[in-house]
Amino acid sequence: MTTTNWTPAQPIVSIRDLHKSFGDLEVLKGISLDVMKGEVICVIGPSGSGKSTLIRCINALNPINSGSILVEGQEVHDPALDKLALRKKVGMVFQQYNLFPHKTALQNVMMAPLKVLKRPRDEVEKHARELMNRVNLQGKEDSYPGELSGGQQQRVAIARSLAMNPDVMLFDEVTAALDPETVKEVLLAIKDLAQSGMTCILVTHEMGFAREVADHIYFTDRGVIVEHGPPATFFTEAKDPRTQEFLSQIL
Amino acid sequence: MNGFQQYFFDLSADHPRWNFIFFYDPVQTERVLSGLWMTVQLSVSCVVLSVIIGLVGAWLQGAKSPLVRAIVQGYIQFFRNTPPLIQLLFFYFALGQFTPTYSPDGWLEVPIISNVGWAIISLSFFAAAFNVEIFRAGIEAIPESTQEASEALGMSRLQTFLYVVFPLAFRVSLPALNNNLVNLVKTTTQALAIAVPELLYQMVSIYNDYSTAQYACMVVLFVAYIVLVGLLVFGMNSWERAARIPGYGQ
């Protein structure tokens, strides 16, 4: 990876005029936003507004059409980019957990540090057990994903991402596939993470949660950021009629 | 003669059509056993080789180069759409003409690939054409999202294939692979056509020499293949059970 003169005083993720189309369908029409180190931001908006596409672009799972995304000063969509180096910095948790079903919970958490970072097994295992405790899953180390509930699987997925010691965590509607009673345990794990100083970008429909943990909230609709602000003012003083309409349906 | 041999000797005397000659004539016993051993060797070699070729083919089918994919596709179409017997004859008689030879004594010219060698090559490529498709189906059954999760963790394409896609795809492929390998073991009998001395070849030779042994030979052939294929199926089923993941795919 080429060296950049990025310093922690600058935004850790910086997006400028991002455009992204799938065929003829333009999903993102010029998105710009900055995330500082340690900040927690929530992206909310109606289905199909491009929220998930936005965060999938940040770790290069989706290519972009134009604009720029800098992570720690490095252009994500530079063709010469070392994608593996990027993905060591940016962790991602998915809506459908996407655990490796043939590996136990602990093995899921250990796989990437062993294979990608090539760290010694005993050290990796110690760290993995700590992470399992951190997401409150002690005793489930040897269970297979198929034997765990949705909420438990999602917490394993969070631990799996954390095992790579990322600088930024992306959460793509991570509670959208869960039963209402297990949503809370996953949100608690994320909240704990956010409060520990991890930079988090969340796409979510959990408004109460967004209000509680976010430093900044972005509302997207039809591929653009309509309005953004800190939660204290965003929920009560929304100015744009689209934001007001969305919030009135949700809250 | 021991009691067992005496029984079959008497049986052939009383019922001339049921001459189990290989159960009392040690020379014929030796022929049957060597045929059986050759069949086992042929089966094991072809099973192993066809699985390896199948895996390589399935991997190459995902290659970026359209030329590589076209070659794999051409190979599959050729071997899947032509009879294995014709393939055996073609490999041995046509390609066999062009293989280099060596001379052990300055007079003889021995081809470096024997008829047994050609049978293994030809039958392995035949079965592997099906294995490629079986593994491809297995690979396609693994959700794109599982691979994305692996790539998002920083794993390379090769690591994702080796540690995530392949272990899952192989489990999906096992039942279909089982079927194809059963067919392969049975198809080894066609090596008879290029004089590979396997079980069917030896049995046919025996009943050509002793026409009264024909029924007996056929009975033993059926029993031998039921047992051989039965062992293979038992092994594959145990493997399938051992590879089962708790809570997955049931």
Asked whether the predicted pLDDT for residue A3 surpasses 70, the reply is no
Please, which pLDDT band fits residue A251 given cuts at 50, 70 and 90?
A: low
Instruction: Pick the more confident residue, A225 or B111.
Output: A225
Give the pTM: 0.81
Residue of chain B whose Cα is closest to the Cα of A162: B153
Average pLDDT, chain A: 91
Helices and strands, number each (H, E), in chain B: 10, 2
Asked whether the predicted pLDDT for residue A177 surpasses 90, the reply is no
How far is the alpha carbon of A31 from chain B, nearest alpha carbon, in Å? 22
Residue of chain B whose Cα is closest to the Cα of A92: B152
Residues, chain A: 251
Q: How far apart are CA B228 and CA B233, in angstroms?
A: 9
Mutation target among B153, B156, B168, B174 for the A interface, most CBs of A within 10 A: B153
Tokens of A215: 């430093």
> What does the pLDDT look like over A190-225, one tens digit per residue?
999 999 999 999 999 888 889 888 999 999 999 999
B212 inside 8 A of chain A by CB: no
- Give the number of other CB atoms < 10 A from CB of residue A191: 16
B157 inside 8 A of chain A by CB: no
Q: Which of residues 127-146 of B touch A (CB under 8 A)?
A: 143, 145-146
Q: What is the mean pLDDT of residues B34-42?
A: 96
> What does the pLDDT look like over A114-148, one tens digit per residue?
999 999 999 999 999 999 999 999 999 999 999 99
So what's the pLDDT on residue B228?
95
Which residues of chain A lie closer than 8 angstroms to B146, CB-CB? 98, 100-101
Query: In this predicted structure, which of A75-79, A95-99, B187-191 has the lowest mean pLDDT?
Result: A75-79
B159 vs A115: CB contact, 8 Å cut-off?
A: yes
Q: How far apart are CA A53 and CA A100, in angstroms?
A: 23
Q: What is the mean pLDDT of residues A25-30?
A: 92
A145 vs B164: CB contact, 8 Å cut-off?
A: no
* Closest CA relative to residue A109, chosen from A145, A39, A163: A163
Asked whether the predicted pLDDT for residue A1 surpasses 80, the reply is no
Asked whether the predicted pLDDT for residue B187 surpasses 70, the reply is yes
Which residues of chain A lie closer than 8 angstroms to B171, CB-CB? 102
Question: How many CA atoms within 13 Å lie on the side-chain side of A222?
Answer: 4
Residue of chain A whose Cα is closest to the Cα of B157: A84
Instruction: Pick the more confident residue, B41 or B250.
Output: B41
Query: In this predicted structure, which of A205-214, B179-188, B219-228 has the lowest mean pLDDT?
Result: A205-214
Q: What is the CA radius of gyration of chain A?
A: 18
DSSP B103: -
So what's the pLDDT on residue B101?
84
Question: Virtual CA dihedral for B191, B196, B199, B200, nearest 10 degrees?
Answer: 50
Please, which pLDDT band fits residue B172 given cuts at 50, 70 and 90?
A: very high
Domains of chain A: 13-99+168-250 (3.40.50.300)
Q: Percentage of residues in chain A with pLDDT exceeding 90?
A: 67
Please, which pLDDT band fits residue B39 given cuts at 50, 70 and 90?
A: very high
Please, which pLDDT band fits residue B55 given cuts at 50, 70 and 90?
A: very high
Q: What is the mean pLDDT of residues B217-229?
A: 96
* Closest CA relative to residue B138, chosen from A165, A102, A38, A24: A102
Across the interface, which of B152, B163, B245 has its CB nearest the CB of A115?
B163
B150 inside 8 A of chain A by CB: yes
So what's the pLDDT on residue A8?
83
Across the interface, which of A88, A146, A161 has its CB nearest the CB of B247?
A146
Q: Percentage of residues in chain A with pLDDT exceeding 70?
A: 98
Question: CB under 8 Å to A116, separation ≥6 — which residues?
Answer: A84, A88, A164, B153, B154, B155, B159
So what's the pLDDT on residue B145?
93
Which residues of chain B lie closer than 8 angstroms to A147, CB-CB? 246-247
Phi-psi region of A32 (alpha: psi -120 to 50; beta: other; left: phi over 0): beta
Asked if B218 and B152 touch (Cβ cutoff 8 Å), the reply is no
So what's the pLDDT on residue A216?
94
> What does the pLDDT look like over B63-77, one tens digit per residue?
889 999 999 999 999
Q: Which of residues 217-246 of B touch A (CB under 8 A)?
A: 245-246
Which residues of chain A lie closer than 8 angstroms to B155, CB-CB? 111-112, 115-116
A146 vs B149: CB contact, 8 Å cut-off?
A: no
So what's the pLDDT on residue A238?
83
So what's the pLDDT on residue B157?
85
So what's the pLDDT on residue B250?
53
Q: How far apart are CA B217 and CA B103, in angstroms?
A: 38
Domains of chain B: 31-242 (1.10.3720.10)
Instruction: Pick the more confident residue, A246 or B124.
Output: B124
Residue of chain B whose Cα is closest to the Cα of A107: B163
Question: How many CA atoms within 13 Å lie on the side-chain side of A239?
Answer: 5
Tokens of B68: 């590589």
> Among all chains, which residue has been given the structure tokens 């939660």?
A231
User: CA-CA distances (angstroms) from residue B91 to B55, B109, B125, B190, B194?
Assistant: 22, 19, 11, 13, 10
Asked if A39 and A216 touch (Cβ cutoff 8 Å), the reply is yes
> What does the pLDDT look like over A46-81, one tens digit per residue?
888 889 999 999 999 999 999 999 999 889 888 888
Mean pLDDT is highest, among A10-14, B125-129, B155-159, for B125-129
Which residues of chain B lie closer than 8 angstroms to A88, CB-CB? 154
Asked if B36 and B232 touch (Cβ cutoff 8 Å), the reply is no
Residue of chain B whose Cα is closest to the Cα of A86: B154
User: A29 in helix, strand or coil?
Assistant: strand
Burial class of residue B215 (count of CB atoms within 10 Å of its CB; 0-12, 13-18, 19+): middle
